[in-house]
């Protein structure tokens, strides 16, 4: 590999389920992925195995997988500086996933809050066993690459904790095998809130689509959503996540997209009222999403290039994953296959 291997390693993944990424995905995770490719040996993947924990239409899944990769490239991932791949192209994920399933307690898996939330939404008859064991597949995703850090939003913290527990358990039982990873969660953007309900996380499954900023929406739709964001009855522009969640969320978004500090923004809008803040933020958003949409479309218009980027990524990923899996199998006591 041409990449500097003395750099610490990062790994992360995103599901190809919703079509467009939303602002929470970008600010909470993808933005960090782009930054980390400069300083780390970075592995990023589109997690299609995770996607099928809920029913997927085959055609849509295939299209959304390419769409997710196109958006990651449009956001700034550079295949020369990171390894970008599709999870199902690397069979070792499912293989190490099984090993990790056999290391996890049933009660331990039952405590994963994301499963509880997601299965409550679907009803326990419709929730699959795959949805239940999904965090354990995520553990395998991370451990296969010996990742030091995992850049994600706050909602993934518990899964990284599980990863650490299982890595330590395996290492304790079979000898040092896996790097114990740390979450890389940026406090300011760890949780971006819904524009209509600023106490709830921005999420693709929101009740009110006006609260969700999809990066591939028409810029004028985004402008409208920002301008009708819920704030409060007061008029003071001040960051206070408890007392003023709506305004604080807008300040976080504004600050991160422009690189302007929040105190500076508070000063700039002192005495100006929410309208001015929203109008300017709407413009900032439009300037951000317009080129993002164009770049995404350019990658989609050239599926051959896109697929070849993913093929090269899978090849690089497999080299690392296969080595970890071979060591793992050997430690466990599986009889080596004769060649
Ligand atoms: P998902 O769409 O569930 O695959 O999430 C992809 C990434 O986006 C994960 O790292 C999540 O933690 C992150 N993420 C999702 N929603 C938000 C949000 N509202 N705020 C911050 N990060 C988020
Ligand atoms: N579970 C993550 C999510 O829903 C996606 C994911 C799968 C992931 N495998 C991963 C994130 C490995 C970080 C590392 O967002």
Instruction: Map tokens 């589109």 to a residue.
Output: 46
| Ligand 1 atom at minimum distance from 194 CA | 19
Angle between helices 58-75 and 274-300 (to 10 degrees): 110
Let me know if 268 is a catalytic residue: no
| Ligand 1 atom at minimum distance from 202 CA | 19
Ligand nearest to the CA of 26: 1
pLDDT of residue 2: 45
Measured between alpha carbons, how far is 331 from 326 in angstroms, rounded to an integer? 9
Using most ligand atoms within 8 A of CB, pick from 153, 181, 189 the residue to mutate for ligand 1. Answer: 153
Measured between alpha carbons, how far is 84 from 161 in angstroms, rounded to an integer? 24
pLDDT of residue 126: 83
Cβ neighbour number for residue 5 with a 10 Å cutoff? 9
Let me know if 312 is a catalytic residue: no
Burial per residue of 58-81, b for 16 or more beta-carbon CB atoms within 10 angstroms, e otherwise:
eeebeebbbbbbbbbbbbbbebeb
From residue 270, alpha-carbon distances to 182, 196, 238, 277, 281 in Å are: 39, 23, 8, 10, 15
pLDDT of residue 7: 95
pTM for the full predicted model: 0.96
Instruction: Say what the alpha-carbon torsion angle 256, 260, 262, 264 is, to the nearest 10 degrees.
Output: -170
Ligand nearest to the CA of 50: 2
- List the chain pLDDT tens, one digit each, 339 residues: 444 568 999 999 999 998 999 999 999 999 999 999 999 999 999 999 999 999 999 999 999 999 999 999 999 999 999 999 999 999 999 999 999 999 999 999 999 998 888 888 877 778 999 999 999 999 999 999 999 999 999 999 999 999 999 999 999 999 999 999 999 999 999 999 999 999 999 999 888 999 999 999 999 999 999 999 999 989 899 999 999 999 999 999 999 999 999 999 999 999 999 999 999 999 999 999 999 999 999 999 999 999 999 999 999 999 999 999 999 999 999 999 888
pLDDT of residue 1: 44
Instruction: Say what the alpha-carbon torsion angle 180, 184, 187, 192 is, to the nearest 10 degrees.
Output: -120
pLDDT of residue 120: 83
Q: Which residues line ligand 2 (CB under 6 A)?
A: 11-13, 15, 47, 50, 138, 141-142, 150, 152, 156
Sign, CA dihedral 119-134-312-11, equals positive
Using most ligand atoms within 8 A of CB, pick from 10, 28, 151 the residue to mutate for ligand 1. Answer: 28
Let me know if 201 is a catalytic residue: yes
Question: What is the distance in A from the centroid of ligand 1 to the CA of 29?
Answer: 6
pLDDT of residue 338: 87
């Amino acid at each position: 590999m041409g990449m500097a291997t003395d750099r610490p390693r990062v790994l992360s993944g995103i599901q190809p389920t919703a079509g467009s990424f939303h602002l929470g995905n970008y600010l909470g995770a993808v933005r960090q992925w782009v930054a980390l490719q400069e300083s780390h040996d970075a592995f990023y993947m589109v997690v299609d195995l995770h996607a099928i924990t809920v029913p997927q239409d085959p055609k849509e899944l295939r299209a959304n997988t390419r769409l997710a990769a196109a958006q990651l490239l449009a956001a700034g991932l550079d295949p020369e500086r990171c390894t970008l791949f599709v999870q199902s192209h690397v069979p070792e994920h499912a293989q190490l996933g099984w090993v990790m399933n056999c290391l996890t307690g049933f009660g331990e898996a039952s405590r994963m809050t994301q499963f509880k939330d997601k299965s409550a939404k679907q009803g326990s008859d419709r929730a699959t066993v795959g949805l239940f064991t999904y965090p354990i597949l995520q553990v395998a995703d991370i451990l296969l690459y010996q990742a030091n850090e995992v850049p994600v939003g706050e909602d993934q913290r518990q899964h990284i904790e599980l990863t650490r527990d299982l890595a330590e358990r395996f290492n304790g039982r079979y000898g040092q095998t896996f790097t114990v990873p740390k979450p890389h969660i940026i406090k300011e953007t760890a949780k971006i809130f819904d524009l209509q309900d600023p106490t709830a996380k921005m999420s693709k499954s929101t009740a009110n689509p006006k609260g969700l900023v999809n990066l591939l929406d028409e810029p004028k739709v985004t402008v409208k959503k920002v301008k009708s964001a819920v704030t409060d009855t007061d008029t003071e522009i001040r960051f206070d996540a408890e007392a003023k969640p709506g305004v604080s969320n807008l300040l976080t978004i504004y600050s991160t997209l422009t690189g302007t500090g929040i105190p500076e923004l508070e000063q700039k809008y002192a005495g100006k009222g929410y309208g001015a803040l929203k109008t300017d933020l709407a413009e900032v958003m439009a300037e951000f999403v317009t080129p993002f949409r164009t770049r995404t479309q350019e990658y989609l218009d050239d599926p051959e290039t896109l697929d070849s980027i993913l093929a090269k990524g899978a090849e690089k990923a497999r080299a690392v994953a296969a080595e970890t899996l071979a060591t793992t199998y050997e430690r466990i006591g599986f009889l080596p296959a004769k060649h």
